[in-house]
Chain A
Amino acid sequence: MDNLLHIENGGIVKRSDIPLVSFDSFATILSEFVENDGYIVQFFALVEGDKNKLIAVVRNNQLFILSTEVGENFASLTATASEKFHMFEREIAEQYGIVPKDHPWLKMVRYHANYRGAPDAFGNNYSEDIPGNYSYFQVEGEAVHEVAVGPVHAGIIEPGHFRFQCSGEEVFSLEIQLGYQHRGVENLFTEVPLKRLPIIAESIAGDTSIGHNLCCCQALEALGGLSVDPGAQIVRSIALELERIANHIGDLGALSGDVAFNPPAAYFGRIRGEFLNLLQVLCGNRFGKSLVLPGGISQIMTAEQSTIIEEKLKELEPEIRHVCDLLFSAHTVQARFEQTGTVSNQMARDLGLVGYAGRASGIEYDARVTFPTESYRQLPANRNEMTNGDVNSRATVRKEEISHSIHLIRLLLNKAGETSSTTIMQDFTLEPDALIITINEGWRGEISHCLMTDAEGKIERYKVKDPSFHNWTGLAMSLRNEEISEFPLCNKSFNLSYCGFDL
């Protein structure tokens, strides 16, 4: 434990200060850390000179960093320590061809050739452009059948492949294979001029534009020595909460639609749009794209905009309360929501679930409280009452977060007299030989970006982690021994990002 270096969210770390330990101590320290209620924020590889390095950023109520050097392979921590490592280790194998030995289920994450030109860890040659070109996990037996869905789904949604092993209606196993949305985001970040970075960050996951771009811009601000005035921080916080409310409301509507209860589906569908329109009032884009820039915000919030938001909240808050009551008090809805898709507290801890998926299973972690950025230091935290880990809990957590976020926005609007000026995207230089990690609580949970600069101050490695990276496995587990007809409901209660995962 002594070797772990304590770091701050959004604070610069000199690359030479990152503790470098032998792989054996690396494994021992991290194993002990995750066993004692520690979680992984980032765990990734990079090539430094001719050496392969692994860097781990972990958290309990503080952040720590540690690194080690490995050859072409290393002993898998998933196998010996915790499932929390499993997706990260698969990603390391895919991105750099560095193989975690004895990994219990080593398979590709996104289906692309590795960055190092090393032999492929999965034996793919990538001449076929299909991530599903892979022998799926199969259950055998006379009454067992398989259901394959996707990549193209029966609606306006992102692509992904789902493979169910069922006996009758009962699902034994759900395997989720993604990668169809892979756009090469991490590498693109290191190749393009600074002016493009916020635009790309906003499109990592369009429903989390504010969350991801905050992570990107906070990192650039620290590395570039830019300061953000309190007025701009308030607007950024308001935008992040508007994003949260819009998505939660949309999902409650979709959950309602999935149990064929149409009135709340229609009402919430429309109310969600009202919140997107408030982001448009702030910055001209319904998803908050273009609002956040390194150093501040592109357009200030004047009395006009804050009044529009205040008035709209006054109008919508009772409507939301009434429609929530309609939804949550309907017996037919309760019968479908309760005890469906349960992820136990132990399972959620083992997998390291984040965001509302974690909170619904009793993991209290909220990055707004533990690692506050922007205006969150001055704002009250939320507490969730329903933590059974089922669809009902995940829906109730959303309901509770909607009212909490409305409360936060009202508090922030009252502070809005703070000075603030318009920021223009300009060129600036970044601190050389540095590493920075930024964390924000997006609406799905913990988002984290990690940037490393080289001796010239150029971005050498850019690592992105969407909360979905932790939570997709939670969805797969929630389906165990459920009826296959519960899939849409479980899926919507998690509503994970395909593109945020696929990068």
Chain B
Amino acid sequence: MKTVVSERDVTVVPAVRKKRKWTADHWLAAAFLTPSVVLIFIFVYGFIGWTGYVSLSNWNSLVPDLSFAGWKNYIYLFHDFRFQADLRNTVVFTVLFIGVVVVLGQFLAILLDQKLRGESIFRNIFFFPMALSFVVTGVIWQWLLNPSTGVNLFLKKFGLDSKWYTDTTILGGFHIGKIEGGVPVAMIAVVIAAVWQMTGFAVAMYLAGLRAIPEEVREAARMDGATEFQIYRKIIIPMLRPITVSVIIIMAHISLKIFDLIYAMTGPGANFVTDVPGVYMFETTFRGNYYANGAAIAMIMLLSVAIFIVPYLISSRKGES
């Protein structure tokens, strides 16, 4: 067990299906599976249905009121300054976060693949933030990127003076709906913290992919006179494309439902420059008792995650059978 990542970890061995007789043991097997299936159907699908129902109700106070309200809560949200800001922030966060994680993850994985001395130390340093809670990460980076301090003392020497997550500027601002579209500067601080925590995940996946590429592939290219750089650019990196798809989908579903990191690090921020649907849902439901509004936000979050996940699940199922 020298390597952290063996090929077996990434390839899924397809289960062979054979015609078998349905015996008493099959009944027993089904009986053991049933509780889990029932739990999932109630607690995942049933509860999603119930949340959907609440999102169409008038339950916006402490007292449950499940009278039908139609799309009222959704219409309210899409006209709401805070929710519009949330949508902008989520798009900005997701794009920046995934972009950096994919590029940096691939870069570091290739770097680690160069048979460096002390590779396992480097690897462990890149991976360890994943063992931490988003809450811990949020607390540390809140201190680290405290405006007028920390990293800034360093940057000031280069004439840079960033207000990090307290900055309310929107880069490339343009008017859209009730908000200013563009990239909120404060969001960059959150992206840095998220990248710090999650890049190791991408590195691990890419490394597993790199280790799965047989050495003969490189040997053959070398025989044809390709330089190391060309081998990576023309052969290895294109071969990593399926992993990039997996990385993007996993990071997308994390970033679309992000809550704890932002809640611990910045909160909604002035003018909601770092607010996201996860934080809004939590505050409006459990601090403000606007249950129907909160349910509507949750349903929109679910939908945005499902757009990525459902095709992924279906295609991986097809790939197996």
Q: Do A and B come from one complex?
A: no
Residues on B facing A (Cβ under 8 Å):
none
Residues on A facing B (Cβ under 8 Å):
none
